[in-house]
Amino acid sequence: MTSIEFFRLYQAGQTDDRMDYVEWAPLLRMRENLLRRLQLLTGESVA
């Protein structure tokens, strides 16, 4: 499953409480925050 698929399911409450999932969600949030910060600092769009 991709991170995008996972996060959509996670936010909809459609995942179980596996430790992998519990750890994956905050890592994805951190990634998004870092990408936003990078975009602000560089003025560029990042994927």
Sorted by where each begins, the domain ranges of the chain are: 3-38
Q: What is the CA radius of gyration of the chain?
A: 13
Rounded CA-CA distance 40/35 in Å is 9
46: pLDDT confidence band, cut at 50, 70 and 90?
low
Kindly state the tokens that stand for 25: 């969600």
Q: Average pLDDT, stretch 19-46?
A: 92
- Give, to the nearest 10 degrees, the angle between helix 19-42 and helix 3-11: 110
Residues 6+ apart with CB under 8 A from 22: none
Q: Average pLDDT, stretch 16-31?
A: 94
User: Does 47 score more than 70 pLDDT?
Assistant: no
Query: In this predicted structure, what is the pLDDT of residue 45?
Result: 73
43 CB neighbour count, 10 Å cutoff: 6
